[in-house]
Amino acid sequence: HQEGKNPLLRALRYFLCNLYHLHYCLWSRYDVLFLDSTPPTQGIIGAVVKFIRKKPIVYNLQDIFPDSLVSTGLVSNKSFLWRIGQIIERISYKYSDKIIVISEDFKRNLMAKGVSESKIEIVYNWVDEHAVVPIARDKNTLFDEFGLDRDKFYVVYAGNLGSAQNIDIILEAAKATRQYADLQFLIFGTEDQSAPYKEYVRRAQISNLRILPMQPYSMVSQVYSLGNVAIVSCKKGFGNIAMPSKTWSIMSSGTAVLASFDAGTDLQHIIEANGLGRFVEAEDVNEFVGAILDLYGNPRECIQMGLRGRQYILDNLTRNIGTKKYIEIINSVYSGDGNIRV
């Protein structure tokens, strides 16, 4: 828990991890080196190994470093760590033969930094469509476990309750809609993160919002199926470095999406172009409340949005579709005998 607040401890872990990976990559047999972006110093290891062994590299970029450190407030863009991060980033991109990114926004970010478009491949993260499924209300055991009325309209948020997620906008929306007795908000989060929010809800007497314990991943279908709509929220400035993967879980569970995120992003396009929910500009409380009331007034449309979301997952974001794209990218950098070792 403390590492996330201490860049030096994180850097030490990265260093030890990289020593192990360097040794393994120098002495093991492989044809293509597939690197993840966590820890972000993996790219340096890739560059060293490529110089020695001349093998192609596919770099799987799930997090844009060091941009993410600044956005989460861990460092400033004038700090020494930031400058080191930029050097690591440039080397990682330069020596990669292909870079897999998880959104159009990531691609634009890299191209703005001088990365050739021909290197960049977009493969959205996927969801296990067999594990995350719609659960009918009369079959959803969480209604009984938490004493929830199945006839009410629920707005659900589940996940990290950190600063970046802007949970405050949900609290403000609940406060602004207290007069609607059958409109209820449910927030699922860990005990340590939820404590200050519980205190605020108590003091502000927000009677239409409950903060409930985080559920195991095996219950993700039940959690999101509680909602007529489920929330994806972020503060401003995360649009070109984040693609909230919980969006796909919400859609796979057959629930409408309400996103509070940077405008002009991939997330906005996917939601609006396919009729999967509502999208509002990050941190705009009035727009956020308006979207909730619009959805609340159209519960049948919420059902249709959820159905479209589920179908979008089946058509575009299954494990089978995603892994096929990975294989195609790996094959594109390999010129051997067809027996690829990764």
Give the pLDDT band of residue 12 (cuts 50, 70, 90): confident
pLDDT at 337: 61
Task: Name the token pair of 135.
Answer: 């659960």
Assign 300 a pLDDT band (cuts: 50, 70, 90): very high
Provide the pLDDT for residue 335.
Answer: 77
* CB environment 173-193: b (16+ within 10 A), e (fewer): bbbbbeeeeebbbbbbbeeeb
pLDDT above 70 for 98: yes
What's the whole-number mean pLDDT along residues 191-216? 95
In degrees and rounded to multiples of 5, residue 285 shows phi and psi of: -65, -45
Residue 116 half-sphere exposure toward CB, CA atoms < 13 A: 7
For the segment 90-99, the average pLDDT, to the nearest whole number, is 96
Neighbours of 273 (CB within 10 A): 8
Average pLDDT over residues 34-63: 92
pLDDT of amino acid 82: 79
For the chain, domains (ranges, CATH) are 3-126+319-333 (3.40.50.2000), 137-316 (3.40.50.2000)
How far is the CA of 175 from the CAs of 202, 273, 319, in angstroms? Answer: 12, 31, 39
Closest residue by Cα to residue 123 from 308, 275, 329: 329
Say what the pLDDT of residue 81 is: 78
pLDDT of residue 210: 97
**Which residue, among 264, 291, 266, 267, has the nearest Cα to 278 in the 3D structure?**
291
Round to whole Å and give the CA distance between 256 and 219. Answer: 18
Q: Is residue 113 scored above 80 in pLDDT?
A: yes
pLDDT at 1: 44
Supply the pLDDT for residue 130: 97
Q: Which of 32-46, 161-175, 316-330 has the lowest mean pLDDT?
A: 32-46
